[in-house]
């Protein structure tokens, strides 16, 4: 499979169809992989793909990384289904043009949740929670796909994969709040969750605003709560569930629980799954006559 | 340091009853930046305003807060007063301590504390208010009237007589609308066409009125004073300038289809004018039916046409015209297919799906499930009209027999939350009474029954008219009809008389339903094209139900007639004239002043997600390319058109990067206001 991808990448680079191929290469440690930017056709053999490739590459397509400034007109990117959801969402939000991107789709059987858990094979003990119930193991939007792409029914609703969301929702409101109070005590506002998010694309993040300073910059309860709640609200209807925010958190705070819950709410209220359509706008900015309004009481 | 003045109003006893205004004034006086306070009985009175102006001048105030009633009431009053005293009007804010405070609290202690908080929030907020200047916008003095019914005709004539260039866009081939269909009008029983057609001719002959018949508005861009309309002139296949309206073509046309004007009671040719007095008298070819256009067969009309004005190759034409104001007069329809689909009136065994083969055979094929002689009000109008399909003789549709017993049922679909609309259609009581009279006048020995819920005859001469109908023989039965069934060639009407508590069965030859008045089927689409508000029924929403009843939610677009709500003819005409007056008011100046409380974009911060473009209900935000000093493309950004923006603030909430601000409601102002109330919640 990876040979076909490498050949296609080589062909694209040799023909000058793309300026760069973004993919995965072996990391410094055998349990890890690292993102790699291939500029020359001779380097394509560095590309690999296996269940260790959990990083979300579309992050590098986000405008705030300013790769367009390097003069790259067209970028090829290796995408597993969940990453392609992020790419599609970026296109839907006008952060990217479809013709700037060449998507090398890969079939995916799931990813290990953490490199330390990699023991040479993927099994239920080390599979990432986002991979359970995934409907894009065969990616939906690709320019190249090794072999033939089977038809997959993706009409079923988004599944909340983390049982923790359901567990939290069962708790009384004050207990739930207590949970977050304890968890957020660890947050020191490094903003890794923001930096790793493919959808955080503001030129000036609201937390960096000073006139006025909407979000208190200090890492006390008020500052931390207002940051995480704002982040969650800004991703409603846009988060495609890559789970990178939680993975990137140095303090092991499961910040994507908010996003997962919000995704569930959006799906229930508006039957909308972000990341599946290049044109559809997210439900918080659109109005349809049959939208549910039962939350207005 | 700010020099803020705070003026606390007692509003007689309205505020003072539950708010200790002296205490509020004292508290405000202690706040940073406040240099002057007043506590007065009526701030809005002439002495109150004088006091306000004097304080500004003498103390050199640079911002003022009036703690009084809603800004909807007196914001303009105090802003104008401030302007007169030399202070920028946008440095005046209102703290609403009446509607938001004294009127909703009983406890004076609570009311006083809340008033203090509300005023303090405004004090902190106003420190960030910037002086704003009003915009001057250009103005195109040409009006567009959408719809050529009586409302559109009246508005267009009023405007044209005042010297305004008017264009009427009518989607049917002729002006006239629903009023042209009516036989006689209540409460005077004068012939509708006799009063309507002179107006139509006047429109046609007026040098300042241009009629675009058989045309539709496709797109509208721009803003008050500067709209641009894209009008689609549908292909008539007849050259307007050559046609003399001689009628050779429509008389010779060998094909026919149901006539829309005659409510499908008779057929019309494929090349047609809707009715003999049509304006303009230029026929159109129905391109969904014409065999020449569909399969290149026939073409007889072109052969008989003397001036050679038939052109089968004609295409739709797009015209782009600039307007300064728009009057929407798209009218109404009767709730469509009420006798076919209005389940309540179909006994279960008569609905098409549940008919047995035998029952279906017993019915005329094309009318399976339908009681042919159950008609709606407009169909009855055509039957009673001297120019109608029966030449004014009331004959029932099924066999042409003159009906001996006619049952009129009021409130069909109206005042019915389950199967119809919840509102009262208002005109049905009157036109039903009129129908009974028309029927009694035409069929002297006939018997008419009216099943009604209540009689609502509020209007000049209306109650007298109902009495007259009853005197002339109509039998009024207060009660509803439960079902209509076929009985031989008659219709068995099973109803109740709730005044005597008895069941009433009538064997009728014909049943006339006073069907609910609803907006045109595509009214929501029209509203979206125009960018105006509409309610859940599809009626266009007025800006304010009492004080701005003819303005739509968008500046420069006005509403006339039944498209805004159910109305009879006099009300429609009055509203149409009101819109004309509004347009003339708008056109009385050479340029317009716009309030500066509109959104502006920080284009460097804008991340061009275009969420603001998607949410803007006024289409006021566009995408622009930013260039560097050498003219090279730098980045995309959103831009607000100050003429279109109504300052609703939806874009502000949609903008994640906080790149859009509403002038007068900037982030800093709002943040200061919120933190003044409670900065530390967690």
pLDDT at B340 over 70: no
Rounded alpha-carbon distances, angstroms, from residue B534 to A144, B421, B454, B586 = 48, 15, 28, 23
CA B118 to chain centre: 37
Query: Which of A93, A204, A221 lies nearest to residue B605, judging by beta carbons?
Result: A204
Q: A89-92: list long-range contacts, CB under 8 Å, 24+ apart.
A: A89/A198, A89/A199, A89/A238, A89/A240, A89/A274, A89/A275, A90/A58, A90/A61, A90/A62, A90/A198, A90/A199, A90/A201, A91/A278, A92/A274, A92/A277, A92/A278, A92/A279, A92/A280, A92/A281, A92/A282
Give the SS3 label for residue B597: coil
B103 shares a domain with B24: yes
Instruction: Determine the distance in angstroms separating the CA of A95 from the nearest CA of chain B, rounded to an integer.
Output: 6
Alpha carbon distance A272, A265 (integer Å): 10
User: Using the beta-carbon criterion (under 8 Å), do A94 and B681 form an inter-chain contact?
Assistant: no
One domain, residues B478 and B562: no
Tell me if chain B has a CB within 8 Å of the CB of A204. Answer: yes
* Lowest mean per-residue pLDDT among A39-53, B118-132, B364-378, B587-601: B364-378
Whether B606 and B565 share a structural domain: no
Q: Mark whether B82 and B121 lie in a shared domain.
A: yes
Q: Residue A1 has what pLDDT? A: 81
Q: Rounded to whole angstroms, how far apart are CA atoms B528 and B178? A: 23
Do B353 and B269 sit in the same domain of this protein? no
Q: Could you say which of A203, A222, A285 has the minimum Cβ distance to residue B657?
A: A203
From CA A5, how far away is CA A113, in angstroms rounded?
24
Q: Do B657 and A214 touch (CB under 8 A)?
A: no
A214 touches chain B (CB under 8 A): yes
Given a cut of 50, is residue B353 above it in pLDDT?
no
CA A154 to chain centre: 18
Q: Is B600 in a helix, a strand, or coil?
A: strand
Averaged over B42-64, what is the pLDDT? 95
CA–CA gap between residue A177 and residue A239 (Å, rounded): 23
Q: Testing the interface with B: which of A212, A225, A226 to mutate, by most B Cβ within 10 A?
A: A212
Burial class (CB in 10 A: 0-12, 13-18, 19+), B682: exposed
**Picking from A159-163, A282-286, A292-296, B2-6, which range would have the lowest pLDDT averaged per residue?**
A292-296
Asked if B502 and B526 sit in the same domain, the reply is no
Cβ-Cβ contacts under 8 Å, B681 against chain A:
222
DSSP structure string for B455-513: ----STTHHHHHHHHHHTT-EEEES-EEEEEEETTEEEEEEEETTTTEEEEEEESEEEE
Read off the pLDDT band of A67 (50, 70, 90).
low
Percent of chain A with pLDDT over 90: 45
B433 and B372 share one domain:
yes
CB contact under 8 A, A212 and B654: no
B523's CB contacts (< 8 A; 6+ apart) are B330, B534, B538, B539, B540, B563
Inter-chain CB proximity B607 and A95 less than 8 Å:
yes
Let me know if residue B342 belongs to a domain: yes
pTM score, whole prediction? 0.70
**Cβ neighbours of residue B98 closer than 8 Å, sequence gap 6 or more:** B11, B14, B15, B68, B69, B70
Between A143-152, A267-276, B51-60, B359-368, the lowest mean confidence (pLDDT) is in B359-368
Partners of A284 on chain B (C-beta within 8 Å) are 654
B667/A286 CB distance under 8 A = no
Inter-chain CB proximity B658 and A214 less than 8 Å: yes
Provide the angle, in degrees to the nearest 10, between the axes of the packed helices B569-587 and B150-161.
40
- Residue (of B143, B145, B162) closest to B322 by Cα position: B143
Q: What is the pLDDT of residues B489-535, one digit of tens each?
A: 888 888 899 999 999 999 999 999 898 899 998 999 999 999 899 99
Give residue B71's pLDDT band: very low, low, confident or very high (50, 70, 90).
very high
| Residues spanned by the domain of B523 | 142-331+519-587
Give whichever of A201-210, B220-229, B346-355, B437-446 has the largest mean pLDDT. B437-446
Nearest to B662 by CA among B592, B606, B596: B596
Query: Could you tell me if A211 lies within 8 Å of chain B, comparing CB atoms?
Result: yes
pLDDT at B437 over 70: yes
A222 touches chain B (CB under 8 A): yes
Q: Tell me the three state secondary structure of residue B453.
A: coil
Q: Spell B83-94 as b/e; 16+ CB within 10 A means b.
A: eebebbbbbbbb
CA atoms within 13 A on the CB side of B591: 8
| DSSP 8-state symbol, A127 | B
Q: What are the chain B neighbours of A93 within 8 Å (beta carbons)?
A: 609, 611
Contact B498, B479 (CB under 8 A): yes
Respond yes or no on whether the N-terminal peptide bond of residue B280 is cis (omega within 30° of 0).
Answer: yes
Say if CB B32 and CB B71 are below 8 A apart.
Answer: no
Q: Is A284 on the interface with B (CB under 8 A)?
A: yes
Write the DSSP assignment of B326-373 as a string of letters: EEE---EEEPTTHHHH-GGGS-GGGSGGG--HHHHHHS-GGGTT--TT
Closest residue by Cα to residue B270 from B256, B251, B288: B256
Distances (CA, A) of B130 to A209, B79, B91: 20, 14, 7
- Do residues B568 and B427 lie in contact, with contact meaning Cβ atoms separated by under 8 Å? yes
pLDDT digits (tens, 9 = 90+) for B616-671: 988 889 999 999 999 998 889 999 988 788 888 999 999 998 999 999 999 999 99
Number of domains observed in the structure of chain B: 4
Are B656 and A234 inside 8 Å of each other by CB?
A: yes
Q: Do A203 and B681 touch (CB under 8 A)?
A: no
With 50 as the cut, is the pLDDT of residue B682 above it? Answer: no
CATH assignment at residue B373: 3.50.50.60
User: Alpha-carbon torsion B377, B378, B379, B381, what sign?
Assistant: positive
CA separation for the pair A231, A250 (Å, rounded) = 17
Do B108 and B235 belong together in one domain?
no
| Domain match, B371 and B417 both | yes
According to the model, what pLDDT value does residue B347 have? 32
Task: Please report which confidence band the pLDDT of residue B32 belongs to, taking 50, 70 and 90 as the band edges.
Answer: very high
Packing angle, helices A256-270 and A163-170, rounded to 10: 80
Closest-CA distance of chain B to residue A286, Å? 7
- Average pLDDT value for residue range B147-157: 96
pLDDT at position B370, please?
62
Cα–Cα distance, A4 to A147 (Å, whole number)? 9
Predicted confidence at residue B359, as pLDDT, reads 44
Residue B364 has pLDDT above 70, yes or no: no
pLDDT at residue A135, as a whole number: 86
Q: How many CB atoms lie within 10 A of CB B81?
A: 24
On whether both B504 and B526 belong to a single domain, the answer is no
The pLDDT assigned to B338 comes to: 59
Q: Are residues B284 and B366 in the same domain?
A: no
**Secondary element (H or E) of residue B674:** helix B667-678
What is the rounded CA–CA span in Å between residue B274 and residue A120? 81
Residue spans per domain, chain A: 2-131, 163-285
pLDDT band at B358 (very low <50, low <70, confident <90, very high): low
CA pair distance A212, B380, nearest whole angstrom: 67
Which of B537, B538, B607, B636 best tests the A interface by mutation, with the highest count of A CBs <10 A? B607
Phi/psi at B100 (nearest 5 deg)? -90, -5
Are B17 and B97 spatial neighbours (Cβ–Cβ below 8 Å)?
A: no
- Say how far apart CA A153 and CA A128 lie, in whole Å: 22
- Tallying the residues shown for chain A, one arrives at 297
Query: Which chain B residues contact residue A214 at CB under 8 A?
Result: 658, 667, 671
What are the tens digits of pLDDT across the range B179-189?
A: 999 999 999 99
Contacts of B671 in chain A (CB under 8 A): 212, 214
Judge whether residue A248 has pLDDT over 70. yes
Interface of B with A in 597-626 (CB under 8 A): 604-611, 614-615
What is the per-residue burial (b if ≥16 Cβ within 10 Å, else e) of B25-58?
A: bebbeebeebbbbbbbeebbeeebbebbbebbee
Contact call for A63 and B654, based on CB within 8 A: no
| Residue ranges of E strands in chain A | 20-26, 33-38, 75-79, 101-105
Query: For residue B17, what pLDDT is reported?
Result: 93
Nearest by CB: B609 against A94, A204, A209: A94
Q: Does the N-terminal peptide bond of residue A212 adopt cis geometry, omega within 30 degrees of 0?
A: yes
* Residue B363 in this model has a pLDDT that exceeds 50: no
| 8 Å CB contact of A212 and B671 | yes
Same domain, B315 and B269: yes
Q: List pLDDT tens digits, range B379-424.
A: 899 999 988 888 888 988 878 889 999 999 998 888 888 778 899 9
Distances (CA, A) of B193 to B109, B381, B382, B386, B433: 67, 12, 12, 10, 20
In this complex, is the C-beta atom of B527 within 8 Å of any C-beta atom belonging to chain A? no
- Chain A positions in Cβ-Cβ contact with residue B606 (cut-off 8 Å): 203
Report if residue B132 sits inside a domain.
Answer: no
Strand pairing report for B332-334 and B517-519: antiparallel
**ipTM, 2 dp:** 0.88
Final residue in a domain of this structure, among B587, B609, B644: B587
Cα–Cα dist B532/B544, whole Å: 13
Q: Could you read off the pLDDT of A78-119 as tens digits, one per residue?
A: 999 999 999 999 999 988 889 989 999 999 888 998 888 888
CA B30 to chain centre: 51
Q: In Å, what is the CA distance from A264 to each residue of A99, A268, A274, A294?
A: 31, 6, 11, 16
Shortest distance between the Cα of A14 and any Cα of chain B, in A, equals 29
Contact A285 B608 (CB under 8 A): no
A94: left (phi over 0), alpha (psi -120 to 50) or beta: left
**Contact (CB<8Å) B607/A222:** no
CA distance B652 to A233: 15
DSSP string, B243-307: -----HHHHH---EEE-TTTTTSSEEESEE-SSTT-SS---EE-TTT-HHHHHS---HHHHH-TT
């Amino acid at each position: 499979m990876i040979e076909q991808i490498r050949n296609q990448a080589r062909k694209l680079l040799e023909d000058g169809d793309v300026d760069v191929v973004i993919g995965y290469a072996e990391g410094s440690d055998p349990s890890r992989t690292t993102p790699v930017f291939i500029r020359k056709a001779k380097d394509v053999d560095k590309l690999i793909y296996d269940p260790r490739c959990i990083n979300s590459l579309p992050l590098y397509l986000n405008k705030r990384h300013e790769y367009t400034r390097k003069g790259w007109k067209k970028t090829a990117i290796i995408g597993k289904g969940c990453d392609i959801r992020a790419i599609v969402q970026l296109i839907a939000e006008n952060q990217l043009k479809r013709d700037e991107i060449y998507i090398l789709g890969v079939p995916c059987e799931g990813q290990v949740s953490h490199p330390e858990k990699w023991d040479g094979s993927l099994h239920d003990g080390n599979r990432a929670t986002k991979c359970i119930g995934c409907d894009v193991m065969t990616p939906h939007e690709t320019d190249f796909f090794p072999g033939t792409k089977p038809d997959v029914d993706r009409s079923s609703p988004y599944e909340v994969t983390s049982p923790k969301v359901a567990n939290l929702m069962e708790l009384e409101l004050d207990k739930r709040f207590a949970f977050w109070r304890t968890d957020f005590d660890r947050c020191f506002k490094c903003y890794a969750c923001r930096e790793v998010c493919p959808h955080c694309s503001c030129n000036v993040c609201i937390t960096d605003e000073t006139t006025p300073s909407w979000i208190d910059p200090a890492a006390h309860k008020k500052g931390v709560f207002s940051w995480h709640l704002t982040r969650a609200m800004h991703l409603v209807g846009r988060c495609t569930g890559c789970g990178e925010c939680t993975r990137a958190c140095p303090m092991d705070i499961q910040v994507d629980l908010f996003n997962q819950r919000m995704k569930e709410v959006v799906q229930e209220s508006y039957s909308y799954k972000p990341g599946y359509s290049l044109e559809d706008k997210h439900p918080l900015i659109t109005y349809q006559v049959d939208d549910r309004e039962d939350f207005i009481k | 340091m700010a020099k803020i003045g705070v003026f606390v109003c007692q509003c007689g006893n309205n505020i003072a009853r539950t708010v200790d205004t002296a205490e509020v004034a004292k508290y405000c006086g202690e706040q940073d930046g406040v240099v002057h306070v007043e506590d007065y009985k009526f701030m809005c009175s002439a002495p109150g305003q004088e006091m306000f102006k004097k304080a500004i001048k003498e103390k050199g105030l640079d911002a003022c807060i009036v703690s009084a009633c809603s800004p909807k009431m007196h914001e303009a009053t105090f802003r104008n007063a401030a302007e007169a005293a030399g202070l920028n009007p946008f440095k005046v804010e209102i703290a609403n301590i009446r509607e938001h405070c004294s009127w909703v609290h009983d406890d004076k202690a609570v009311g006083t504390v809340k008033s203090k908080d509300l005023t303090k929030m405004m004090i902190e907020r106003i420190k960030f208010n910037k002086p704003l200047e009003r915009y001057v916008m250009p103005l195109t003095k040409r009006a567009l009237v959408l719809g050529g019914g009586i409302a559109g005709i009246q508005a267009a004539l009023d405007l044209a007589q005042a010297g305004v260039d008017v264009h009427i866009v009518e989607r049917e081939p002729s002006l006239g609308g629903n009023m042209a269909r009516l036989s006689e009008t209540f409460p005077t029983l004068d012939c509708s066409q006799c009063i309507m057609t002179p107006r139509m001719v006047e429109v046609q002959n007026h040098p300042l009125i241009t009629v675009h018949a058989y045309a539709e508005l496709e797109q509208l861009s721009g803003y008050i004073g500067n709209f641009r309309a894209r009008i689609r002139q549908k292909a008539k296949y007849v050259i307007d300038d050559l046609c003399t309206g001689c009628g050779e073509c429509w008389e010779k046309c060998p094909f026919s289809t149901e006539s829309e004007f005659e409510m499908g009671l008779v057929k019309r040719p494929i090349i047609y004018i809707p009715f003999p007095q049509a304006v303009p008298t230029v026929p159109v070819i129905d391109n969904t039916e014409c065999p020449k256009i569909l399969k290149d067969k026939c073409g007889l009309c072109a052969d008989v046409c003397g001036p050679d004005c038939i052109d089968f190759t004609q295409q739709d034409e797009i015209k782009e015209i600039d307007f300064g104001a728009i009057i929407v007069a798209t009218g109404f329809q009767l709730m469509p297919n009420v006798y076919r689909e209005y389940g309540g009136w179909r006994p279960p065994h008569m609905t098409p799906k549940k008919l047995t083969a035998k029952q279906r055979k017993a019915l005329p094929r094309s009318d399976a499930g339908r009681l042919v002689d159950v008609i709606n009000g407009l169909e009855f109008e055509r039957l009673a009209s001297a120019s109608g399909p029966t030449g004014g003789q009331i004959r029932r549709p099924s066999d042409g027999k003159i009906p001996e017993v006619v049952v009129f049922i009021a409130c069909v679909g109206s005042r019915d939350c389950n199967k119809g609309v919840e509102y009262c259609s208002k005109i049905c009581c009157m036109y039903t009474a009129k129908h009974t009279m028309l029927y009694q006048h035409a069929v002297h020995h006939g018997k008419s029954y009216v099943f009604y819920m209540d009689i609502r005859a509020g209007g000049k001469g209306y109650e007298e008219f109902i009495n007259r109908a009853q005197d002339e023989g109509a039998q009024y039965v207060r009660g509803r009809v439960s079902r209509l069934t076929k009985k031989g060639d008659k219709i068995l009407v099973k109803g109740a008389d709730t005044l005597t508590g008895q069941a009433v069965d009538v064997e009728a030859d014909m049943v006339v339903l006073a069907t609910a008045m609803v907006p045109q089927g595509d009214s929501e689409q029209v509203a979206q094209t125009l960018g105006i508000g509409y309610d859940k029924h599809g009626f266009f929403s007025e800006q304010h139900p009492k004080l701005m009843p003819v303005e739509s939610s968008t500046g420069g677009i006005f509403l006339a007639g039944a498209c805004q709500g159910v109305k009879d003819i006099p009300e429609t005409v009055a509203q149409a004239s009101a819109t004309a007056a509004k347009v003339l008011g708008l056109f009385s100046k050479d340029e317009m002043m716009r309030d500066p409380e509109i959104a502006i974009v920080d284009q460097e911060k804008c991340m061009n997600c275009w969420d603001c473009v998607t949410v803007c209900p006024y289409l006021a935000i566009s995408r622009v390319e930013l260039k560097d000093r050498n003219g090279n493309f730098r980045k995309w950004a959103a831009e607000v058109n100050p003429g279109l923006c109504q300052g609703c603030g939806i874009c502000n909430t949609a903008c994640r990067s906080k790149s859009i601000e509403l002038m007068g409601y900037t982030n800093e102002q709002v943040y200061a206001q919120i933190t003044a109330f409670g900065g530390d919640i967690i």
